[in-house]
Amino acid sequence: MASMPAESHPSREPEDTQDPLLAGMSEDARATWPSPTLIDSWLGDAEIDFELRPGEDVLVQDDPEARAAARRFRDVLGTFASGITVVTSISGGEPVGMTCQSFSSVSLDPPLVLFVPAKTSRAWPLIQRSGRFCVNVLAADQEHVSAQMATKGPDKFTGLRWHPAEVTGSPVVEGTLAHLDCTIHQVHEAGDHYVVIGKVQHLETTDSDVTDPLLYFRGAYRTTDGARRLGRGELG
């Protein structure tokens, strides 16, 4: 019986030609030397987190010119006042959510809305996997909800009262002005963000003692009477 030919393997480039730091090292030292990727993660000097919007970090090159350009972009765009929403879903049987300033209506027929999560968002992959979400429009007295949902911790819903949305079951935070229950319609890549378009399955306003929205303007929470909210204050 003829023997099978030995399996061939592509030749590997010696590690010391891939990384100059390994040149001249003993085999024992080379075997235990951390990879360039791991070293970069320790040093952390290639990119930094930059807060573009509440709770939304994007990666910016760690040099003065790049940081100045990012700050100017944020400051100019910050002159456009907007409301604040919390986008929620259920993933793995647990509620997930994120603060989102970038929210807008898109179409009446069919009824479409959009929100824009950063690629660095930890909540977005969980929301995307579920295929559904609920947009909660925050009231003027819900700055604490925005701040809590903007954190990176696992306990974003601690102390918050919510109930399942009518169609998708996504969390509807109590005390909000309105909510829109949606399924994911399309997702588009856009620079360091995604543009998520949702098809509205159900929507309604909420009876609440507070009827004014929570606003965000020039790096601070505001109200419709122009008052500046205390608490979080200037961002970055």
Residues 6+ apart with CB under 8 A from 166: 181, 201, 202
Identify residue 44 by its one-letter amino acid code: G
Residues 130-160: tens digit of each pLDDT: 999 999 999 999 999 999 998 877 789 999 9
For residues 91-114, give the mean pLDDT: 95
pLDDT at 208: 75
Q: Are strands 178-190 and 112-115 parallel, antiparallel or unpaired?
A: unpaired
**Residue 25: band (very low, low, confident or very high) from pLDDT cuts 50, 70, 90:** low
Phi, psi of 20 (to 5 degrees): -60, -25
pLDDT at 81: 86
- CA–CA separation, 96 and 87 (whole Å): 8
For residues 111-133, give the mean pLDDT: 94
Q: All domains of the chain, ordered by start, with CATH?
A: 82-218 (2.30.110.10)
For residues 164-168, give the mean pLDDT: 97
**Residue 50: band (very low, low, confident or very high) from pLDDT cuts 50, 70, 90:** very low
For residues 212-218, give the mean pLDDT: 90
pLDDT at 227: 60
pLDDT at 61: 64
- Residue 169, CA atoms < 13 Å, CB-side half-sphere: 8
Residue 33 has pLDDT above 70, yes or no: no
Strand arrangement, sheet containing 215-217: 82-83, 215-217, 220-222
